Amino acid sequence: MAIQISSDGRTFTLQTEKSSYQMMADAHDVLLHLYYGRKIAAENLEERIFRSDVGFAGNPPEAGEDRTYSLDVLPQELPGSGVGDYREDMVRLYHADGSCAADFRFESYEVQEGAYRIPGLPAAYDTGEEKGETLVITMRETASAVKVKLYYGVFEKENVITRTVCIENQGKEAVILDKALSCNVDFLFGNWDLIYFEGRHAMERIPERVPVRHAKVEIGSIRGTSSHQYNPAMILCDPAATEDFGSCYGFCFAYSGNFVAGAQKDQRGLTRVQMGINPVQFRYTLAAGEAFFAPQVLMSYSSEGFTGLTHQYHDLIREHICRGAYKHAKRPVLINNWEATYFDFDKEKIVKIAQQAHELGIEMLVLDDGWFGKRDSDNSGLGDWYTNEKKMDGTMGELGDEIHALGMKFGLWFEPEMINEDSDLYRAHPDWALRIPGREPNRGRDQLVLDMSRSEVREYLYERISSILNEAKIDYVKWDMNRSVCDLFGHELPPERMGELYHRFVLGVYELKERLLAHFPQLLLEGCSGGGGRFDAGMLYYAPQIWCSDNTDAINRLTIQYGTSFFYPAGTMGAHVSAVPNHQTGRVTPFTTRGHVALSGTFGYELDLNLVSAEEKQMVKEQLAEFDRYYELTHEGDYYRLAKPGEALMAWGFVAKDQSRAMVTVVSTDVEGNPLAQHVSVKGLAEGRNYRCSYNGIVHDGSVWNSCGLTLKKVLKEYESLLIEWTEV
């Protein structure tokens, strides 16, 4: 069984195929963390805890004269606040009398069949073939009527344990929730590194590795989104851990708003790891009888280095996070008009782009920003989701009919959460925008943010978006968000509840997406926030692919897609072939290389194919054939990082789940005079099975390829690329 409980009902061991997690309610009902790591027998590990009299570490009343028992040094599942644990708390409460204290003790447990759901929030779910198990532990606050339920979901095959908490006010007076993180793990021993993923707009998810010491290592966002600057995912690992060896723990937050995550050693060497909603500008009132659910954290352990951890997350996200008609179905190859035309287009231009794309075999035309309202620049029109029939020379339905008549699918760009002050919607409903009375608002891209917590805002957006989707028979929506959120003020919320607005905003976005997807179950939704500003597991629950970055430069994309790959599958990464010189960097790279890089993503084009050469048009056909040929590998296979950004030769690979075939992509990023031999690693082929390499025709056992790799016959030129296949013979 995945969840094993001792005969006295106080020790809990969670088992996956390769990992174990154990905790225990001690004699004072404190829920202690005992172990997380390589799979072991479900035997009580209480002896791992060393107790001694630690100066200035106070003792709870139950300890009596036992000075060796202190909340300040014990490893806990639910550290409270204000009652003697001076480290980072997990749940912080303000009571009706103004006191700030939270002391949680074990009360009961329950085992439930299947994965748990979280009201209004994304969560890993069961499939027809695979069902998880859930352990719910109820903790009582010692001096109030607050109960906290700790949820642990176990996905055995994927080696993932999910975490969340539900805080319930069972009393008669309101309680203020000032902090509500989703998980806390106290690692008793060991020295650790922390890997997180930093960045900025157009250069997202760059890995950074630092040692965990007594000064806290913390990342987070207060931008209203998970952000370009830090991704809500991190890895705690052995300092010697590599792609193939060593212990590592992943923490991935299934949430698209403000977050905090970090690790810190305490005075005795214990490492506390936490993740959850950022407590900055968070203050949630729990009235009598109300409950608050925190978002879900996806935890995973690998003893096989970062590659093993990556495979576990990719399998979980593909099978238990992504949903809908395109969960496993082949995604259509699209062409987007944005970099081809920007705002300067009309119906004739769009149809001409579609016609040329169709002739080459591209399956979908996506019309980007500028088709609605008064929208010839980014200074006006947002919120007016009505087709500009003068600009489009007719209705959106008429354009949709022309695109569909070609045999192509048709997609549209929306930015539902935003509003321009120069719009009919703002003139009619200025109070729908987030802005603080008496203060001039901060503007981003000359736009304000709609208050997505308000039901009438969501109702307006649902009516407008669904009307257009129905009229034009839209197959795909790119949902964008092009600024960070600030100027928090909700006109419907009382002052004491204003600290709920950031979270209620995210809940409103999720609710609108859920409603639209229920009405349009065949719709392919792609997430976007200036590219990768909201690339997280929470968004993937609604949109199975996300525009990876606004930066389409193939060489920069090597770094961006490398960092993204640690947690997120290639099939979730929106990646396109764009024009050169590249619009973001000015770099010129070969058409073949741009195609090879984009093939390790959803794949599409971001240019006007009427302007490319006949030779490049032939390359488009070849790239489409490669996309079809390797789709099962790139979208369903196991991913391997074979080199790091900054190396002269960048390489990555995919291996089929049955290990019958594999592919490796190689890109030369630097060249030297009097060059050395270029060598490519190979991973994941089965030992005892023979494979032929398409590059040189040589057949070797999988063990030979895995150990010896491939030496290239000639040195690649700068930015030149290769796509190499191994097939079992």
At 237-256, the pLDDT tens digits run 999 999 999 999 999 999 99
- Mean pLDDT for 15-29 is 98
- Mean pLDDT for 314-334 is 97
Cα distances (Å, whole numbers) of residue 695 to 46, 620, 718: 56, 21, 19
What is the spatial distance between Cα 58 and Cα 67, in angstroms, rounded to a whole number? 8
CB atoms under 10 Å from CB of 625, counted, come to: 11
Residues labelled catalytic: 536, 616
If we measure between CA atoms, which residue out of 611, 543, 549 comes closest to residue 576? 549
Identify the DSSP state of 376.
Answer: S
In the predicted structure, residue 527 carries a pLDDT above the cut 90? yes
Helix and strand numbers, DSSP H then E, in the chain: 12, 39
Q: How many residues comprise the chain?
A: 729
User: pLDDT tens digit string along 77-97?
Assistant: 999 999 999 999 999 999 999
**Upstream peptide bond of 581 is cis (omega within 30 degrees of 0):** yes
pLDDT attached to residue 1 = 82
User: Quick one: which H or E segment has residue 478?
Assistant: strand 476-479
pLDDT attached to residue 702 = 98
- Mean pLDDT for 283-287 is 97
In the predicted structure, residue 615 carries a pLDDT above the cut 80? yes
> Is the Cβ–Cβ distance between 146 and 158 less than 8 Å?
no
User: Quick one: which H or E segment has residue 298?
Assistant: strand 296-302
In the predicted structure, residue 129 carries a pLDDT above the cut 90? no
Identify the DSSP state of 313.
Answer: H
Burial class of residue 291, CB neighbours in 10 A (0-12, 13-18, 19+): middle
What is the spatial distance between Cα 278 and Cα 88, in angstroms, rounded to a whole number? 13
Cα distances (Å, whole numbers) of residue 329 to 474, 544, 624, 657, 661: 18, 11, 17, 17, 20
What is the spatial distance between Cα 83 and Cα 636, in angstroms, rounded to a whole number? 49
pLDDT attached to residue 414 = 98
CB atoms under 10 Å from CB of 431, counted, come to: 15
What is the spatial distance between Cα 496 and Cα 401, in angstroms, rounded to a whole number? 51
> Is the Cβ–Cβ distance between 532 and 520 less than 8 Å?
no
> Is the Cβ–Cβ distance between 102 and 93 less than 8 Å?
yes
- Mean pLDDT for 410-424 is 98
Q: To the nearest whole number, what is the mean pLDDT of the chain?
A: 97
Identify the DSSP state of 669.
Answer: -
Alpha-helix residue ranges (DSSP H) falling in 520-664: 537-540, 554-564, 591-599, 614-636
pLDDT attached to residue 641 = 98
In the predicted structure, residue 25 carries a pLDDT above the cut 90? yes
pTM of the model: 0.98
pLDDT band at 583 (very low <50, low <70, confident <90, very high): very high
- Mean pLDDT for 613-637 is 97
pLDDT attached to residue 131 = 86
User: Quick one: which H or E segment has residue 54?
Assistant: none
Identify the DSSP state of 171.
Answer: S
- Mean pLDDT for 525-545 is 98
- Mean pLDDT for 631-653 is 97
Q: How far is CA 492 from the centre of its chain?
A: 31
Cα distances (Å, whole numbers) of residue 28 to 34, 65, 186: 16, 14, 18
pLDDT attached to residue 444 = 95
- Mean pLDDT for 199-222 is 98
In the chain, what is the greatest distance between 2 CA atoms, to the nearest angstrom? 86
List phi, psi (to 5°) of 499. -70, -5
pLDDT attached to residue 130 = 76
pLDDT band at 128 (very low <50, low <70, confident <90, very high): confident
Residue position matching structure tokens 């950004």: 645
